[in-house]
Structure 1
Amino acid sequence: MTNYRTTILLAIIFAGLGVYLYTIEVPTIEQETIEQLEVQRLLPFDYRDVTEFHLTTRTESIRLTRDDRRRWSIVEPVQAKGDSREVENILRALEIGKISRVLQEQEQDLSQYGLDSPNATIQLTAGDQSETLHLGGVAPLTSTLYGQRQSDKQILLTTLSVSDFRRKTLFTFRYKDVMFFDRNQVERIQLQTGSQEIALHRIASIHGLTGNWRFSTPFEGPADKTSVGLLLMTLEDLSAVDFIDAQTEKEALLKQFPEPMLTATLHTGQRSHLVAFFQPSNNAKNAYAVTSADQPIYQISPAVLQGLPKRAFDLQDKRLFGMEMAEIGLLTVTTPSKTYTVVQQHGEWFLDGAPDQPINQQEIKLFVSRVVDLPAEFSVSFEEEGLQDYELSTPAITIVGIDTKGRQRGNLALGKSEGGLVYAMGSGLPGVYQARSIILTQFPSL
């Protein structure tokens, strides 16, 4: 009986201890931990509540404000769109940053901490709360920053990394994208390069816009979707390396510009996006983009200009033949030594007039694919004139494609060879071009 009483008594004691720990000791420890963490925090509020950010360095004073959609705008020293990522990066660093140690309860000798003339002062406003933080020199052993809060004047050793605050300038906080559009939503493109006007439109299907493009000016025909895609990607990713804001500077710079190298207008739904590219004739190291009179002139990398189209040929589908392989019913090949026709049936090829004669299917398919995909390398003339100079008036080699409905849709004529290239004409492109002459060595042995 005594053993039972002892067991019951011990159970009551343990239960009482459990209640004490759960209701008193653990909450007290948790509260002390929270209070300790709060003491270690640099900011008295959540960084996500900050609506005004003011950075003062030894050379600049930059102030930004945030709207209800969490978009940051620069309001001093210029009015411009802000780079929200850069502002948020600094605010997160301040949120994560802690106080390692309080070095002085009250300000005394600030010079030994670099706080007599701070490297940076950050003023933050969040609703009706605000805080100012001065950042001084770098601690010798930790590579973290000394700081001082305006609210309590204490000299602090922080965990803030110097790399998060080094070399932050007005340019850092400016939004650097030149154009604001989604390349997948572009329906039409208008280009003016030199004296040539180019217009393209995206081909639509029952499921919406496709990745294929066609020319409507200066001719009608297919465009190379890869080249058009690269152009749109270049424009969408166009980034400024500097800004010219002052109206007097803009006017002076515009006077130095010749005619634009390229003017591009992109149409997305009901909106249009325009950009013109310039390079001063007296300075090939600088390049500029202009979007509108009320926006800055953007200085850009000169390398961007090298990738811009200079004529319609740069965006054309450069395949000369004019048919896809699957569309061909008959292919007639004429060379100086013979003429023959091959027929395609269910993906297999047969010699016309001798269907039982064996044909190396791999060889003929490779040859047809090379004919179909043969690209023009250089444009010689958009007009089919003076063909005798290129030996194309009566070409020695012709390849003609007939589709399954009996229509002649594909054609390739090869003329004179020189310098590893052969003069060529085809149904796919109007005019005279040069293609790689290796095609002349790839005819099948039929």
Structure 2
Amino acid sequence: MRGLRSTAVLLVVALGLGAYIYFVESDRPPGGTPEPRDMAFDFESDDITRLSVTAESGDRTVLEKTDDRWQLVEPFAGAVDVTEVVALSSSLAALEMQRVVAEPEDAADLTAFGLGEPRIEVGVTTTTGTDARLLIGEQTPTGGDLYATVAGSNRVFLISGYLDGTFNKTTFDLRDKTILDFTRDQVDSLEITGADLAIRLRQVDNRWSLVHPIEAHADLGVTNGLVGRLSTGQMAAIEAESTDALESFGLDTPRLTVTVGLGSSAATLLIGDATPAGTVYARDAARNLVFTVSESLLTELEQGVDEYRRKNLFAFRPFNATALEIDRDDERWKFEKVEATAEGEADRWRRTAPDEGDVEPNVMDDLLGKLSNLRAESFVASRDGTGLDAPGWTMLVTFDEDGAQERVVVGRVDDEVFAVNGDEPGAARLNTRAWDDALEALDALE
């Protein structure tokens, strides 16, 4: 009887526990899922039409959005740093209260949280009727969060400490800081001039070439990299919003003048003296503003003409080559690609001189790969002493669907190898080992 009573008691307990789990625990979020936090505001970032930011430094900036375009309106009218403004507006719309410290009925003393005179103030106006100010005070004792309140609410809450850098923005932070205003797709020329420097490059059909002081193929990566840096480069600081005293910055007679050709127009950057801070004074010729830029930009702009020359000896790639001729030792070797005629077949290479015959695909690919990877380690201005007066090798490559051709001659003096592509001035000094590897690949075709 006692055993039956115990069993009944256990059954009642189990049923009660099951009912508790069903009716109580089922309403709780799954284990490991945090409770959703309250939002500080009820609007979307796209709803915001006006922002005012007073930084800890006292800098006050007002921004307004018209037709989805943000503009700076105070302390002066101008363009904005879109990335900074979007981050600011998005963070404001998504702002979560980490924890509520004091409710309005608590009548908390705001000065205890650094909110009597807040360090940072962000005002926001939206199309949905919001007109509010976020006040940010001191850090919590642990430094992980910040005390904040919405003006007039008397409700104190915590926000994540990393947001200090998001909301504590000066006018300089929020303004457009690009050094030149142009679109890279418009660029068709680049000119860099100074007391001892005069370099001009031209772009046609996405190919850059040097036109002064020499005519030669230009390095696509180097030239596009510099154009990209000029289009996205940022000011380090503002020195003067407007001034006629350009001589104090070395801008009356600029150290360098950089002109980016844009078809019928141009964007021009003037570089002046170095600053004590390790930056350089600069000015966009289209604006009165004087600012500073990184000294590394100046270093890049002052590089010599050889840095702009194409380092690859050839422009072709193994996959687009269609014919190859090589003259060496008074003998001409000729190879041509034969396109496949049946589905599933691969293109193949044939030797047509000095005798005819099929060529092993992997051996031909090895030769083409090693030739196309030949690069100039440096350049020499004169061909004297390069062996190019009586070149040991002459190569003619046909490539691309339009049948483009490149002719390269190679000379050797002792352990030094020199080459010239077409009519380019001077000569390229090649890596001797890389050239010897290419010769070994050619020998494998015999």
Could you state the TM-score of these two structures normalised by the residue count of structure 1? 0.70
Aligned residue in 1 for 2:69: 71
Matches of 1:169 and 1:403, distance apart in 2: 58
Aligned residue in 1 for 2:269: 275
Q: Give the 3 Å change call, closer, same or farther, for CA 163–252 of structure 1 in structure 2.
A: farther
Aligned residue in 2 for 1:165: 164
Contiguous gaps of at least 5 residues in structure 2: 1-37, 339-347
Q: Partner letter of residue 258 of structure 2?
A: T
Say if 2:315 is the partner of 1:315.
no
Aligned residue in 2 for 1:410: 407
CA contact (8 A) 2:201 2:210 kept: yes
Matches of 2:72 and 2:314, distance apart in 1: 55
Provide Cα deviations, 1:130-155, integer angstroms capped at 9, x if missing partner. Answer: 33343223445895443444435x2x
Matches of 1:362 and 1:175, distance apart in 2: 54
Provide Cα deviations, 1:421-444, integer angstroms capped at 9, x if missing partner. Answer: 423334262322312112145423
Matches of 1:200 and 1:107, distance apart in 2: 70
Q: Partner letter of residue 182 of structure 2?
A: F
Aligned residue in 2 for 1:180: 181
Structure 1 position 411, deviation (Å)? 3.3
Structure 1 position 68, deviation (Å)? 1.1
Q: How does 1:9-28 map to 2 (within 5 A)?
A: none
Q: Partner letter of residue 117 of structure 1?
A: E
Q: Give the 3 Å change call, closer, same or farther, for CA 297–422 of structure 1 in structure 2.
A: farther
Structure 1 position 163, deviation (Å)? 2.1
Structure 1 position 198, deviation (Å)? 0.9
Matches of 1:145 and 1:130, distance apart in 2: 22
Aligned residue in 2 for 1:5: none
Q: How does 1:24-423 map to 2 (within 5 A)?
A: 42-43=40-41, 48-95=46-93, 96-98=95-97, 100=100, 102-105=102-105, 109-126=109-126, 130-140=131-141, 143-152=144-153, 154=154, 156-166=155-165, 167-183=168-184, 185-194=185-194, 195-203=197-205, 211-218=206-213, 222-248=217-243, 251=246, 253-255=248-250, 259-261=254-256, 263-267=258-262, 271-278=265-272, 280=274, 285-292=278-285, 294-308=287-301, 310-320=303-313, 329=323, 331-334=325-328, 338-345=329-336, 346=338, 347-350=348-351, 352-355=353-356, 362-363=362-363, 365-381=365-381, 384=383, 387=384, 389-395=385-391, 397-401=392-396, 410-417=407-414, 421-423=416-418
- Percent of residue pairs bearing the same amino acid type: 17
Q: Give the 3 Å change call, closer, same or farther, for CA 320–111 of structure 1 in structure 2.
A: closer
Q: Partner letter of residue 161 of structure 1?
A: S
Q: Give the 3 Å change call, closer, same or farther, for CA 106–85 of structure 1 in structure 2.
A: farther
Provide Cα deviations, 1:26-77, integer angstroms capped at 9, x if missing partner. Answer: xxxxxxxxxxxxxx76458766444332222442231212131333333444
Aligned residue in 1 for 2:13: none
Matches of 1:123 and 1:300, distance apart in 2: 32
Structure 1 position 267, deviation (Å)? 0.8
Provide Cα deviations, 1:377-435, integer angstroms capped at 9, x if missing partner. Answer: 22211x55xx2x3343334x22243869xx996231313245xx423334262322312
Structure 1 position 200, deviation (Å)? 0.6
Local SS of the residue matching 1:377 = strand
Local SS of the residue matching 1:348 = strand
Could you state the TM-score of these two structures normalised by the residue count of structure 2? 0.70
What RMSD in Å do the two structures reach over aligned CA positions?
4.0
Q: Give the 3 Å change call, closer, same or farther, for CA 172–426 of structure 1 in structure 2.
A: closer
Q: Partner letter of residue 290 of structure 1?
A: R
Provide Cα deviations, 1:332-385, integer angstroms capped at 9, x if missing partner. Answer: 432xxx4322121325243734335x866644553354345533222211x55x
User: Which of 173-182 and 246-255 deviates more?
Assistant: 246-255
Matches of 2:277 and 2:387, distance apart in 1: 41
Local SS of the residue matching 1:82 = coil
Matches of 2:213 and 2:143, distance apart in 1: 66
CA contact (8 A) 1:424 1:433 kept: yes
CA contact (8 A) 1:415 1:422 kept: yes
Local SS of the residue matching 2:169 = coil
Q: Give the 3 Å change call, closer, same or farther, for CA 353–288 of structure 1 in structure 2.
A: same
Local SS of the residue matching 1:228 = helix
CA contact (8 A) 2:242 2:290 kept: no
Provide Cα deviations, 1:142-200, integer angstroms capped at 9, x if missing partner. Answer: 95443444435x2x2224323213443333222233333332x2341121244323131
Matches of 1:307 and 1:276, distance apart in 2: 14
Q: Partner letter of residue 266 of structure 1?
A: G
Contiguous gaps of at least 5 residues in structure 1: 1-39, 204-210
Local SS of the residue matching 2:71 = strand
Aligned residue in 2 for 1:16: none
Matches of 1:245 and 1:217, distance apart in 2: 35
Local SS of the residue matching 1:430 = coil
Matches of 1:124 and 1:329, distance apart in 2: 67
Provide Cα deviations, 1:85-126, integer angstroms capped at 9, x if missing partner. Answer: 433433443433458354454867433222233212333345
Q: Give the 3 Å change call, closer, same or farther, for CA 252–362 of structure 1 in structure 2.
A: same
Q: Give the 3 Å change call, closer, same or farther, for CA 262–333 of structure 1 in structure 2.
A: farther
Local SS of the residue matching 1:165 = helix
CA contact (8 A) 1:416 1:422 kept: yes
Structure 1 position 308, deviation (Å)? 4.3
Provide Cα deviations, 1:292-337, integer angstroms capped at 9, x if missing partner. Answer: 2525334333333444473443333344468777667562432xxx
Matches of 2:164 and 2:178, distance apart in 1: 23
